[in-house]
Structure 1
Amino acid sequence: MEVGKIIKKYRLQKNLTQKELAQKSGVAEITIRKMETEDSNPKLETLEKIAISLDIPITFFFPDDWKDIIDSNISKDNKIDCFVEYLASLNIYLFESNETNFSYLEYQNKEIRLNKEKRESLKKETDDFLRFKVEQLFRDAESNKK
């Protein structure tokens, strides 16, 4: 289903006019009209405002297979690059050696050598921790709704 049809469907379910949705979301009425007629490709921030106003998840605007599309476009190398960039944002630097099977991890002017298994373990444990924290945020959000 196209974005415009989804917006219109949920807007009508909430018994809102385009003008009322515009006022509630802070998005111009003409923009909502153009989105509903598929004359406009909305920005993500616009979709977010509309999703909040309609009390629906923003993912309702994406195709059912959006996760598969994203996953298929992210290669294993890109995932590793993202991990390296994430570590760098924390002032932790991971360097790959092209000549050996080792990586070097630098933090606070100290360096250690990691074999492939330790590097993969660091990535997996980081992924697991982030998933845990995200799940915790969702649990907290659910308990706050009650």
Structure 2
Amino acid sequence: MAEAYCDIEAYAHVEDTDVIWLYWNDLENWPHFRQEIYEVLRYQHQRKLLWLSALGQRKTIERLMAFLTLLIEEYGETCEEGYCLPYTLTHAQIGSTIGSTRVTVTRLMGKLRRQGAIIVREDNLICLPFKKEVE
């Protein structure tokens, strides 16, 4: 029986990282650990489905808003205005991601700004404003 061979590389952006190697059947010995791994895999699967749904929207403005919302939910940080991406994105990068042009993204970003759906700070960080409480 031939053994499958593969290379595995790991990259970490923290100072203290531990890597362990387990086979799926080894997880039977640690049911709580197995459950945690399944939860993480389920979460990743759900996020991928959300991304596919967002990028599958018919209207470009809906794809743009869904893309920004998911990105900010995933990586955003709280700021005065709401939740902001911690890095800048060009309109060309956004357009490439959502299957549109830079010009269209610029026009739609202006429209979303005017509607109050997004805020673009002076440092060009994109933010979703806090939702207003309805009294």
State if a TM-score over 0.5 links the two structures. no
* Greater share of helix: 1
Larger Rg: 1
TM-score bracket, normalised by the shorter chain, equals under 0.3
TM-score (norm 1): 0.22
TM-score (norm 2): 0.23
